[in-house]
Chain A
Amino acid sequence: KAGVTQTPRYLIKTRGQQVTLSCSPISGHRSVSWYQQTPGQGLQFLFEYFSETQRNKGNFPGRFSGRQFSNSRSEMNVSTLELGDSALYLCASSLEGRNTEAFFGQGTRLTVV
C-alpha cells in the first residue's frame, strides 16, 4: 500500500508569489491534515479536511487555504508569500479522521526568497 505522497518535495518561490502544494493520502483515507514545521515555531496545525469539508482550522492568516477533492487528494495554497512562510509543510492522512491513526508524508520544503 502506498504511503502519503506529497509533491513537490522542494520548492523555491519569490516573495509575493503564490504556491500550491499537493498531498495524496493513503488509499481509502478520507481525512487530510496539514502542518507547518519551522525551527522557531515547531509543528503547527494548519487545517484538516474530511470528506471534502474543512473540519478544523488552525490559527493562520487567510493567505493559507486548502481544499480536498472527491478522491481525497488535498491541496494547500499560500498566496502573497512572505519570507516567514519558508518551512516544511507536512500532511497527514487517516482513515476516518481519527488522529490516533494518522500517517505523515515526507513533506514539501518551501523556501521563499
Chain B
Amino acid sequence: AQSVTQLDSQVPVFEEAPVELRCNYSSSVSVYLFWYVQYPNQGLQLLLKYLSGSTLVESINGFEAEFNKSQTSFHLRKPSVHISDTAEYFCAVTPSGNTPLVFGKGTRLSVIA
C-alpha cells in the first residue's frame, strides 16, 4: 500500500527566509503527487500537483515542488516566506486518478515576524 512520509511535523522559519518541506512516498511505480495547504478551521486547498511532464511544478503564490523519481521525493520549497504562509501543508499521492489520495501526516509551517 502507498504511504507518504512528511519528515518534519513542525517547521518554524523567519519571514523572508527560504523554506523546504520534505515529502517522501513509498512506491516507485508511476504516481501522481500533490501538495495541499490547510489554514486554521478550513478545508484543504490544492497548492500544486505533479501529473507528468516537467519535474518542477510551480504554484501561483511562489511555491514550487520537484518530483524526484529515484529518491521518491516531492519536496516543497519557497525562496522567501510571508506571514500569510503560516498553515499546515499536506503531501498526497495516488497511483492513478481513480484511487483515493493517500496523505502524509502534515507539516505545520510557522512564519515568524
Closest chain A residue to B32 by CB distance?
A100
Indicate whether A58 reaches chain B with its CB closer than 8 angstroms.
yes
A105 in contact with B97 (CB, 8 Å): no
**Does A97 sit at the interface, judged by CB under 8 A?**
yes
- A residues 19-64 with Cβ under 8 Å of B? 33, 35, 42-45, 48, 55-56, 58
Contact in complex: A99, B43 (CB < 8 Å): no
A-B contact count (CB 8 A): 59
Q: Report the separation of the CA atoms of residues A102 and B32 in the bound assembly, to the nearest whole angstrom.
A: 13
B-side contacts of A90, CB under 8 Å: 43-44
Interface range on chain A (Cβ under 8 Å from partner): 20 to 34
Contact between B100 and A100, CB atoms less than 8 A apart: no
Contact A107 B101 (CB under 8 A): no
Cβ of B72 within 8 Å of any chain A Cβ, yes or no, is: no
Residue of B nearest to A3 (CB): B43
CB < 8 Å: which of A43, A56, A106, A109 contacts B99?
A56
